[in-house]
Amino acid sequence: MFRDAVEAKDLDAVDELLAEDVVFRSPVAHTSYPGKAITSAILREVVEVFEDFRYVRQLRDGSEEAYVFEATVDGLEITGCDFLTLDDEGKVTEFMVMTRPLKASQALAARMAERFEAIKQAAASR
């Protein structure tokens, strides 16, 4: 299950749950990121940016799942939600993240921007 893999920080298990054609929709970027390689690379970096990450609520409706989370970024509390769409095999085909409040989301954007070259390199090497 996705939640178990994330909470265990088992990023190899998370990778196994991503469809090859998954689309990642960031809370801080205008464009979406298509493909397992870039999605995996983003997730591997964001687990380093978030401190005290924890899921606090889970909702499911058929092939749609939502996971509300809380964490800290640069000392700022952030709340967000991971919205997942699953295919018939249970693989994630769409991964959309929304966060609040604005100041914490801006801190998240800044930390991820600092790492984006490494993210692109990691995705290219997969």
pLDDT digits (tens, 9 = 90+) for 100-111: 999 999 999 999
Tokens of 66: 């939502």
Cα–Cα distance, 61 to 97 (Å, whole number):
17
Residue 126 clears pLDDT 90, i.e. is over it: no
Average pLDDT over residues 43-53: 95
Nearest to 95 by CA among 86, 108, 104, 103: 86
pLDDT digits (tens, 9 = 90+) for 25-46: 999 888 999 999 999 999 999 9
Work out the mean pLDDT of the chain and round it to a whole number.
Answer: 96
Residue 51 clears pLDDT 90, i.e. is over it: yes
pLDDT at 25 (0 to 100): 98
pTM: 0.94
User: What is the distance of C-alpha 44 from the center of its chain?
Assistant: 9
Residue 1 — very low, low, confident or very high, per pLDDT cuts 50/70/90?
confident
Nearest to 103 by CA among 68, 67, 79, 69: 79
Cα–Cα distance, 34 to 119 (Å, whole number):
14
Nearest to 54 by CA among 26, 78, 90: 78
Residue 82 clears pLDDT 90, i.e. is over it: yes
